[in-house]
Amino acid sequence: MAEGQRRLVAVSNRVGPLNDEGKAGGLAVGLSDALRRRGGLWFGWSGETSDEGTFKDAQTQVHGDVSMTTIDMTEEELEGFYYGYANRSLWPLLHYRLDLAQFDRQSERAYRSVNQRFAARLAPLVTDDDLVWVHDYHFFFLGSELRQCGFKGKIGFFLHIPFCPPEIFTALPASHDLVRAMLAYDVVGFQTDTDRRNFLAFCVRELGGEKLEGHRIKVGDRVVRADTFPIGIDAPGFERFAVSPEASEHEEMVREMVGDRLQIVGVDRMDYSKGLVERFRGFERLLEDYPENRGKVQFLQVAPLSRSELDAYVELRSELEELAGHINGRFATLDWTPIQIMTRGFNRRALAGIYRAARVCLVTPLRDGMNLVAKEFVAAQDPDDPGVLLLSRFAGARAELPDAVIVNPYSTDDVARALQQALTMPFDERNRRWKAMRAAVFAGTSSNWCDTFLGALENSEER
């Protein structure tokens, strides 16, 4: 740690890995980079359940200047906190899916209790000179609980997913309590200006807050900076992944599978926010309205399973597999299967090779905080023959990547037209669009994201 620099304490639901071996997600890549450079503590859930749960002894691994400390949860805590409130209430609500959100007092109590217990376990490990950076929708209340434990230092919060408009968020029975708890943080960060504006609108309309200069909001006697900090990827690292032996092997496998056809690829967790059903229907419309593509294109959707314990995800998988079968049944020939869906995951080196082999990447979420697949696809492209990014207008990445082909994922016709545009796009246009997007991806890396947020936190007003 540099002389006079505050120690970084990062809090997230899952901890690690500290070294990116091609398996880490966007949050982990950003935090591991910051912690390796600064030193500090990474605190979160162990991924395990036990009878003692959050009361069990913490486990700590030390890697150089970085300590990684984790605690367990009980089965009941995990069910109520994670599967219940976080993923049945908050996740759908914040993704504008009020129709899927479920609210009950028991899961809300479990969520608050786990936030309180994590704060109580963290409190003895920190000093007021530390910079505490809390991450994502699992821990809205943690900053407030840490204040209750006596912590007077600086605490920042970053939301990796969207923040919905107040008209939707007020449906949450504890919406006022939750946002008031967020005011215990000194800096609250969002992926996009839209998310930030939605948060500010809630503070003003529902809590009587007042907007101040410098991206600050005052509610009662609390003044908090609410700002936009779009997350990035390790662009140079992912570019290197794309020419690694593992990536080259997967690129070659895809090219052999596709032959002289053009490859369309989608890579998403199996989640209703990703617009997978709408995407499949858009591809079907492409084959209907532009029959010259039959036998000439192939669509590979990589969709690793997630949260399979939740009914909405089980139903989504069933619908997707049925729809893929329907499309293949309509259009397949003896030597061509239009659509292939894979529910297994790949590490990021393998994905880089799959991206590099694709002419088109479909990133069409119905709502997404950022979507780093879009940025990874750009970083992975071959400069001599770059592919085309087709990007939802509702993905946070749209603000930084306007040179993608922008689509409305709810419009089947729009997706089909955009696919046709991407598949027939001449090299000069593909190259121009890709170069502009590459410059944006390399300018807004994960390390820049960390440094910008932590700089704002260090410079925030003393309490």
Active site residues: 160, 368
How far is residue 189's CA from residue 187's CA, in Å, rounded to a whole number?
6
- Starting at the edge strand that comes first in sequence, how are the strands of the sheet with 8-14 ordered? 59-63, 66-73, 40-49, 8-14, 131-135, 154-158, 187-190, 222-228, 216-219, 210-212
The token pair at 239 is 């570019």
SS3 141: coil
| Three-class SS of 407-454 | ECCCCHHHHHHHHHHHHCCCHHHHHHHHHHHHHHHHHCCHHHHHHHHH
DSSP 162: -
With H, G, I as helix, E, B as strand and everything else as coil, classify residue 50. Answer: coil
Rounded distance, CA 157 to CA 150, Å? 18
8-state DSSP, 396: G
Sign of the dihedral through C-alpha 369, 365, 264, 251: positive
For 190, list phi and psi in degrees, rounded to 5: -130, 160
